[in-house]
Structure 1
Amino acid sequence: MADNRYPKSKSSRKLGSEDSKSNTRKRRYEDHKETKRHSDCKTPPIPSNSSLDELMRQRETLKEELKNMTMQKKIEDHVLHNNLKNSNRNLPETYDNQIAKQNRKTTKELPEHEEDYSHLDSEDEENIIEQRRKQRKQLLEKLNLHTESDTNVCASKTKDHQEVVNIETHNVREKTSPDKPDTAKEATDMFSEQDFIPKKVPDPVTQDNSNLQLSDNWDDPEGYYNVRVGDIIDNNKYVVKSILGQGVFANVVLAHDIKTNNSEVAIKIMRNNDLIYKTGLKELDMLKEINDADPENKYHCVKLLKNFMHKGHLCLVLEPLCMDLRHVIKRYGRHHGLNMKAVVSYSRQLLLALRLLKKIGIIHADVKPDNILVNEKKNVLKLCDFGSASKVGENESTPYLVSRFYRAPEIILGIPFKHSVDVWSTACTMYEMTTGKIMFTGSSNNKMLKCFMDLKGKIPGKMIRKGKFKDQHFNYNHNFLLHKKDESTGREKYVELSNINATRDLLLELRKTHKNTSSDDDKKLIQLKDLLDKMLVLDFHQRMSVNDCLKHPFIQEPLTK
């Protein structure tokens, strides 16, 4: 047995020191592993130096805190319930309020119970929370409430009492207010197969006055007025009944004048745009001048009743008509045209409108079936839409004036024009009324010139030289340059055509759509062919005038029955 009374040797002390260092390094390594293991855990580790009594005390403290939280929630729910009950005393007794009262009554009858978590063995808080959620779900099922309503109540607990009252009142108003109609479905398409019949809206029509406080949602991104059926405009004078259509410059609605026996009017609401506003003022001046020149409303131009401003939009009140001529052709003359009696009557009325415009020095510059309206009986025709109209001498040369299918050759070439452009457009419209087909269907101005020459032959060189845009379509020899697309490269190329001969037979085309006609109808077709030939002369100086057209036998001679 070693004697401990004597001190250890120097070598033994050195060896013992190395053992202590090794043990220290080992403990540090174990502590590092333990710390890393605890850091990877989702729950904090139990302190190593805690006793069992301390853990039990912590458990009791946790249970006590949960019990206090439960009681606090019940108190808050009870206070919120009383606040809602007091705030709803003055609300109308609607169906929703009755349901709410019944639910509150059911809540009172349910026995209150203390939430006891003593039966839980786990120390994990998640089990306690999960058990509380289950009990809450059972309570919601007993009350027959939705999760969404429960979420709304929980979210509103922290709000002020007055704010809760305002929310409840707003909900009652929203539920009791009538559904607003979808105006986008009521807008009509001018190229649809169905007839152009305004949709009726049952009376009485009311307007939600709360929308009057809004000022930022009257227009869509393009500046059109957001029309809603039932809107009351112009100081409670007109109520919107239906939407008739929408064009480039405006949308048109059918309205009732509630101050004059509910008479119908058409209101053209211009877009909220500076340029279009100036165009609308120009159209307004044109309509006023037409009204002054035709006080008895005999010459088949739409009549202006009044104008006003609404939410930054210029509004023109016009006489109401049933549908436009394009819909008449589609409904009664698709692929075969209208009957000859209607063609003669409509052509005469349209020429009378052009004669009035020529008398006061106005060029319409957009005559086409879409801008010609007829009444409900289909016996009266009116020329409308003077947005492109101008005074003689004030017009500018632009190759895109007038809709392309009804555009005269002088406009395409850039030659100063006069009333003869309306005569050309009227001839195209008369052909369409007779056959049900569009006369010239070029996909561009260049193709339109080719269509003209297929019917009338080559354009005279004297006329070409005056054209501002002649170089786009003719070379220095006045040979036509047909624009085509190269199939291999996809680039546009020019095909020079020196000799172009007329290939279309106008009388044959008219007779194709009027088969098995009587001798009198065939006579009218021959007269119409002669009139169209003279109205479609390429050189506008040689084109038949409006007065001469009205004197033509096709217009003057009555059609025998």
Structure 2
Amino acid sequence: MFILRLRRISPRPPPAPSPRSDRPRTPPPTRRDGHEYKQEQQATPQTEPDREIELELPPSPPPVEETLAARRARRQAILAKYAAISSANVSQGPSPSPGPSSAVEPPPETPDVSNLPSQAQSLIGTPSRADSVRADSIAPEARRTASVSPTPGSFSLAKGDGEEQVQVQNAVGEQVSAADYDPSLDRREDEQKRVWGVKDDPNDVEMEEEEDDVEDMFAIATSEKRVKKVKRVVKPAVPAIVTATLDSASDPEGYYQIILGEQLDGGRYQVFSSLGKGMFANVVRARVLQGESGEVGKEVAIKIVRSQESMYKAGLKEVQILNKIRQADPEDKKHIVRLERTFEHRGHLCLVFENLSMNLREVVKRFGKDVGLNIRAVRAYAHQLFLALSLLRKFSIMHADIKPDNILVNEQKTVLKLCDLGSASDASENDITPYLVSRFYRAPEIIMGHPYDPAIDIWSVGCTLYELYTGKILFPGRTNNHMLLLMMELKGRFNSKMIKRAKFGEQYFDELGAFLSVEQDRVTGMDVVRKVHITQPTRDLRQRILPSGSVKLKDEESKLLMSFVDLLDKCLALDPSKRITPKDALLHPFIRG
């Protein structure tokens, strides 16, 4: 708050009249010893003291530079806090480092960051002493292979001033923050729909249109408009899924009730934290107590599958796929999480994985909330994701649940691993279901009931990369119906061939190709159907990513952003047959540079 001080000067008072000469003078008082008291002469002020008037002025909004400086200060505070947490974890024992990656190479030159905490140094890519030892121990052939990779080993997660200004200017309209999104909110809804076959219409609405009366030429003309009647059908709540076993170690839904400090697999592992739960299992972090030399004290992640027959079979299927991937990638260069071993504990199938740091949603929340990550960090992550998809496509495997929550990174945030293959399947197992993949990352062919293939993972990666750079969700649809509307607003109309081939095409489009948008009436609150004719896109992807004319970037930065927009455009093609493949994506200018 600014305070303006104003000084007011009072006029001089008139001179005091002189005392009369005929008035007798009063003698000064005397003390006992005969001396006179000395009276203090108080000078008559000629002017009144200056008065200060304080006026409170409303604070002006801070400039953009101060806003960016405040964000950088908050980010540095987060880095310092995270460094303290990491140092506490290191004192308990080092975490195992992932295998050598084809996408990470120590930078030729490293900045001077000796004054920063150790964890902050690792976040900006400075190799530690242990990293140097590991780099020296890598075979020359492996180092030559890594040097071919276009992905830098050192990149900043935080955006620069210019990129943050772009995101501030492009943040127009209602956008959902990717950092604040909780995927577990949609998990229960999708699970109920998949298992019990609940319809996707919002509020379970069934519409009945009243038949038009036969036109009567003698009827009295009226200006009253006929209103379509909408009948709301209230359906009973879907009951909770009850586990098929009565094991006291499981809750009513079949999830294992975790006990911290409990030992698993005959005392081989000891649980010390819970990492959360998904639709198929819950995950804990444990420490190895017994094992081969060098493994004792190592931290691992254990996925405990729900004690249901269907979930158990899905777990065995995931183990089979992960073992196939491990055999195909013995050097661990394709960025898919490594399965170490399996065991059973109190009726639950348990999968032991390598331990990693955090998922990409947490990375965005810590280092780029509402503004996203640095474009070079997005480029490095994109390269590694397409390497993972290239291996999956080689074996005709669909991951079918790619999102930032299912992508983990190492402590240095330079290497990622695609995880959670519980929904993965062979491309030949093309079961039509409109609830495959989390809704915000669900490809249009899944929603419409069109035959799908591994191209659904390319769509999910495109949505994920957009989130990483902008910090916002690309298609925050409330329902499948709303998702299709948002897709067409960005990419235009679906072709007629795709609509006719889709199993649920008639549910979303009429005979003339108009989209049947289910919306809520503002007055009655009832859900009504509005026909929407979309031919051309009404939203521009470039506008959301590229800067306006007021923000000038370097030619190199501008070309990189243009190639990023082009890659996203190819990943988000409505027709899956025209979507870019992992092989072509790895050769794209955004990846190769």
Normalised to the residue count of structure 1, the TM-score between the two structures is 0.60
2:317 paired residue number = 282
Aligned alpha-carbon RMSD (Å): 2.3
Instruction: Please give the alpha-carbon distance, in whole angstroms, between the structure 1 residues aligned to 2:449 and 2:560.
Output: 35
1:392 correspondence with 2:427: yes
1:236 paired residue number = 267
- Letter paired with 2:473: I
CA contact (8 A) 1:479 1:496 kept: yes
Per-residue deviation, 1:200: 6.1
5 Å matches for 1:68-83?
A: none
Q: Which string of whole-angstrom CA distances, capped at 9 and with x for unpartnered residues, describes residues 306-347 of structure 1?
A: 000000000000011000000001111112111121111000
1:315 paired residue number = 350
Per-residue deviation, 1:217: 3.4
Q: Secondary structure at the match of 2:578?
A: coil
* Aligned residue among 552, 556, 561 for 2:592: 556
5 Å matches for 1:284-299?
A: 284-299=319-334
| CA separation of 1:515 and 1:219: change in aligned 2, threshold 3 A | farther
1:247 paired residue number = 278
Q: Which string of whole-angstrom CA distances, capped at 9 and with x for unpartnered residues, describes residues 103-125 of structure 1?
A: xxxxxxxxxxxxxxxxxxxxxxx
Instruction: Please give the alpha-carbon distance, in whole angstroms, between the structure 2 residues aligned to 1:421 and 1:203.
Output: 41
CA contact (8 A) 2:489 2:534 kept: no
Instruction: Please give the alpha-carbon distance, in whole angstroms, between the structure 2 residues aligned to 1:252 and 1:336.
Output: 30
* Aligned residue among 389, 394, 397 for 1:354: 389
Q: Which moved more, 1:499-508 or 1:360-369?
A: 499-508
Instruction: Please give the alpha-carbon distance, in whole angstroms, between the structure 2 residues aligned to 1:317 and 1:338.
Output: 31
Instruction: Please give the alpha-carbon distance, in whole angstroms, between the structure 1 residues aligned to 2:405 and 2:348.
Output: 23
Per-residue deviation, 1:516: 5.7
| CA separation of 1:195 and 1:327: change in aligned 2, threshold 3 A | farther
Q: Where do 5+ consecutive residues of structure 1 fail to align?
A: 1-193, 205-214
* Aligned residue among 494, 514, 539 for 2:575: 539
Aligned residues: 354
1:521 paired residue number = 557
Per-residue deviation, 1:201: 12
5 Å matches for 1:103-252?
A: 217-252=248-283
1:530 correspondence with 2:561: no
1:373 paired residue number = 408
Q: Which string of whole-angstrom CA distances, capped at 9 and with x for unpartnered residues, describes residues 437-459 of structure 1?
A: 11111111111111111111111
Alignment identity in percent? 49
1:457 correspondence with 2:492: yes
Per-residue deviation, 1:474: 0.3
Per-residue deviation, 1:221: 1.9
Q: Which string of whole-angstrom CA distances, capped at 9 and with x for unpartnered residues, describes residues 355-396 of structure 1?
A: 000001100011100000000000000000001111011120
Instruction: Please give the alpha-carbon distance, in whole angstroms, between the structure 2 residues aligned to 1:556 and 1:229.
Output: 46
Q: Secondary structure at the match of 2:408?
A: strand
1:506 paired residue number = 541
Instruction: Please give the alpha-carbon distance, in whole angstroms, between the structure 2 residues aligned to 1:539 and 1:445.
Output: 17
| CA separation of 1:195 and 1:491: change in aligned 2, threshold 3 A | farther
Instruction: Please give the alpha-carbon distance, in whole angstroms, between the structure 1 residues aligned to 2:578 and 2:435.
Output: 23
Q: Secondary structure at the match of 1:224?
A: coil
Instruction: Please give the alpha-carbon distance, in whole angstroms, between the structure 2 residues aligned to 1:515 and 1:376.
Output: 34
CA contact (8 A) 1:507 1:525 kept: no
Per-residue deviation, 1:543: 1.2
1:258 paired residue number = 289
1:345 correspondence with 2:380: yes
Q: Secondary structure at the match of 1:282?
A: helix
Q: Which has the higher contact order (CA 8 A, sep 6+)?
A: 2
1:80 paired residue number = none
Normalised to the residue count of structure 2, the TM-score between the two structures is 0.57
- Letter paired with 2:516: L
CA contact (8 A) 1:244 1:254 kept: yes
Per-residue deviation, 1:301: 0.2
| CA separation of 1:537 and 1:455: change in aligned 2, threshold 3 A | same
Q: Where do 5+ consecutive residues of structure 2 fail to align?
A: 1-80, 94-245
Q: Secondary structure at the match of 1:541?
A: helix
5 Å matches for 1:4-15?
A: none
1:440 correspondence with 2:475: yes
| CA separation of 1:516 and 1:376: change in aligned 2, threshold 3 A | farther
* Aligned residue among 482, 485, 500 for 2:520: 485
2:337 paired residue number = 302
* Aligned residue among 262, 267, 273 for 2:308: 273
CA contact (8 A) 1:195 1:327 kept: no
- Letter paired with 1:379: T
1:410 paired residue number = 445
Q: Secondary structure at the match of 1:522?
A: helix
1:420 paired residue number = 455
- Letter paired with 1:529: V
CA contact (8 A) 1:195 1:331 kept: no
Instruction: Please give the alpha-carbon distance, in whole angstroms, between the structure 2 residues aligned to 1:311 and 1:236.
Output: 14
CA contact (8 A) 1:454 1:500 kept: no
More helix by share: 1
* Aligned residue among 347, 350, 366 for 1:331: 366
